[in-house]
Amino acid sequence: MSTSHDPCCQPDLLHPDAAIPLLLGQVNAITATEVVQLPQALGRVLAEDLVSAIDLPPFANSSMDGFAFRYANWQPDSPLTLVGQSFAGHPYQGQYQAGTCIRIMTGAPVPTGYDSVQMQELAQVDGTQVTLAAVKGVGENVRQRGEELSQGTKVLTQGCQIGAAEMGVLATIGVPQLKVLRRLKVAFFSTGDELMPVGSELGQGQIYDSNRYSLQGLLSRAGVDWLDLGVIKDDPEAIRQAFMTASREADLVLTSGGVSVGEADYTKQILDEEGQITFWKLAIKPGKPFAFGHIAKAIFCGLPGNPVSSMVTFYKIVMPVIHKLQGLPPQPVIRINAELQQAIRKHPGRVEYQRGILTTSAEGVATVATTGSQGSGMLTSMTLANCFIVLDQMQGDTPAGTQVIVEPFNYILD
Ligand code: AMP
Ligand code: MG
C-alpha cells in the first residue's frame, strides 16, 4: 500500500456519505402546488395524501369464467339449474333462487344471494343442468367488495412520485385530477474554451461538449423542467451573466467544469460576489472536485468537467439534492453482491464507482466485470456498463473472485 494514497494523508477528502447530509441540510423542498389532470401526472410529486372514495373492488366479482352458486346450497353430484348470466358490465338482474346457478364471466358482479364461483373447466353442462366438481369452499373465485381496500383508506401518501402504477391506481379509484408540487426547474451550462456544440467543426484543441447532453438525459429522467444555457466560455463576464440568468430562471443551477484546482478560483471569484460557494474535495472516484452553494434564491451544484466524473457526481451527490428539492423522501439505493470476474487495482483513499457489467446465472448467481479502462474522461465506459461496482474508501487492490457491492443502473435511473 502506498502511503501517499492513505486516506489519513488526505484529511481534506470528504466521504460522500458525510457530504450528502451536509448538502441536504441547506436544501428546502418546493412547497408551491398546482393541480394537474391525471394524464399529465407522470413523474409529479403528490402534494397531499389521497384517500379512496370507493371500495376496491367496488362490488364482489368473479375471478374466473364459470358458474356462480351458493355454497350452502351445493351438493356433490346434484346439478344446479342455470337461470341466468352475469357478464362484465352486464350484471344479472334476477333474484336469488335456491338450487340454481348463474353463468358468470371474469370481472362480472356475483349476484346477491350467490357467494361462490366454480370455473367452467370444472363444470359439466347438460342443457340447463350444471354439475360442479371439486368445489373447495365458500367464496371460491370471488373477489370480495373492498378486499383490496375500503372507502376512506389512504392509497397514496404525500411526497410519492407518480409512476406508471400510481397512474393506474389513481384511475382505479376514480381520481381525474390531483394536487402536486410545482415541477423543479433546473438550469445548466457547460464551461470551457475548448468545448464546441455538436454540429460544428472541431478546430485544433477543441472537443465536443457532451456533459450538457448527459445532463439533459439525467434531468429528463428525474422529471424536472430543465433549461439548457449552452456552452459558456472561460470568461468571467460570460460566466457571471450565465449564473445570473440561471439563478433567475431556476431553483437549481448546475454547471460542469471549472471546479478543479486550476479553475476553481475563477468560479469562486464570481460566486463570492453573487452568492456563496464552497469547494469540496469528495472522497469519490471519479469526481473528486465538487462545488456547492447558493446564487440568489437558487441552489448551485458545480460538477467536475470530466464526463464520467460529471455523471457519477450527478448520480451520487446531485440526485439526493434534486429529490429533496422535489419534495421526495430520500430514495433507497439498491445494492447487491456480485462475484468480481477480474482483479481490480485500487488505492485506499476514495470510494470508487467503477463501471461494471453485471450478469446473473439462471440460478440467480451474480457476477460482475469492469467495462475495461476506467478513465474519468471515457464516457463510453458508461454506455457499456449496467451497474457501478462500488469499492469502499479503505479498500485496496481487489482480487478476482471477491464479493463486491454493485449498484445496478436500472434502479438508479428510475
Ligand atoms: P475542467 O473540470 O473544466 O477542468 O475539465 C476537466 C476535463 O473535462 C477536461 O479534459 C475538459 O476538456 C473536460 N470537459 C469539461 N467540460 C466538458 C464537457 N462539457 N464535455 C466534455 N468534456 C468536458
Ligand atoms: Mg474547464
412 CA → ligand 1 middle, Å: 24
210 CA → ligand 2 middle, Å: 13
- Which residues fall within 8 angstroms of residue 25, CB to CB, at 6 or more apart? none
Query: Domain limits of the chain?
Result: 7-32+183-325, 34-55+147-181, 61-143, 336-413
pLDDT for the residue numbered 413: 41
User: What distance in Å separates the CA atoms of residue 229 and residue 225, rounded to the nearest whole number?
Assistant: 13
Ligand 1, atom 5, lies closest to the CA of: 305
Q: Which residues of the chain have pLDDT under 50?
A: 1-5, 412-414
Nearest ligand to the CA of 257 is 1
pLDDT for the residue numbered 9: 52
pLDDT for the residue numbered 1: 40
Ligand 1, atom 16, lies closest to the CA of: 305
CA separation, residue 106 to residues 103, 109, 216, 367 (Å): 11, 9, 45, 43
Atom of ligand 1 nearest to the CA of 209: 20
Through-space distance between the first and last CA atoms of the chain, rounded to whole angstroms: 38
Residues, the chain = 414
Asked if 253 and 300 touch (Cβ cutoff 8 Å), the reply is yes
Identify which of 204, 235, 256 to mutate to test ligand 1's pocket (most ligand atoms within 8 A of the CB).
256
pLDDT for the residue numbered 334: 93
- Which residues fall within 8 angstroms of residue 107, CB to CB, at 6 or more apart? 61, 62, 88
Pocket-forming residues, ligand 1, beta carbon under 6 Å: 190, 192, 194-195, 207, 209-211, 256-258, 260, 263, 304-307, 377
Nearest ligand to the CA of 288 is 1
Classified by CATH at the fold level, domain 34-55+147-181 comes out as Molybdopterin biosynthesis moea protein, domain 2 (3.90.105)
Identify which of 207, 214, 376 to mutate to test ligand 1's pocket (most ligand atoms within 8 A of the CB).
207
The protein residues having their C-beta less than 5 angstroms from ligand 2 (an ion) are 192, 257, 305
CA separation, residue 368 to residues 180, 253, 373 (Å): 40, 35, 15
* CATH number for the domain formed by residue range(s) 7-32+183-325: 3.40.980.10
Asked if 119 and 136 touch (Cβ cutoff 8 Å), the reply is no
The label of the residue with cell 408540487 reads 181
Helical H segments across 68-174, by residue range: 164-172
pLDDT for the residue numbered 4: 44
263 CA → ligand 2 middle, Å: 7
pLDDT for the residue numbered 274: 87
Nearest ligand to the CA of 309 is 1
189 CA → ligand 2 middle, Å: 12
Q: Which amino acid is at 82?
A: L
pLDDT for the residue numbered 67: 98
* CATH number for the domain formed by residue range(s) 61-143: 2.170.190.11
C-alpha cell at 189: 451550462
Asked if 346 and 46 touch (Cβ cutoff 8 Å), the reply is no
Ligand 1, atom 3, lies closest to the CA of: 257
Answer whether 34-55+147-181 and 61-143 agree in fold.
no
CATH of 336-413, one of 3.40.50.720, 3.40.630.30, 2.40.340.10, 2.30.110.10: 2.40.340.10
241 CA → ligand 2 middle, Å: 17
Ligand 1, atom 6, lies closest to the CA of: 305
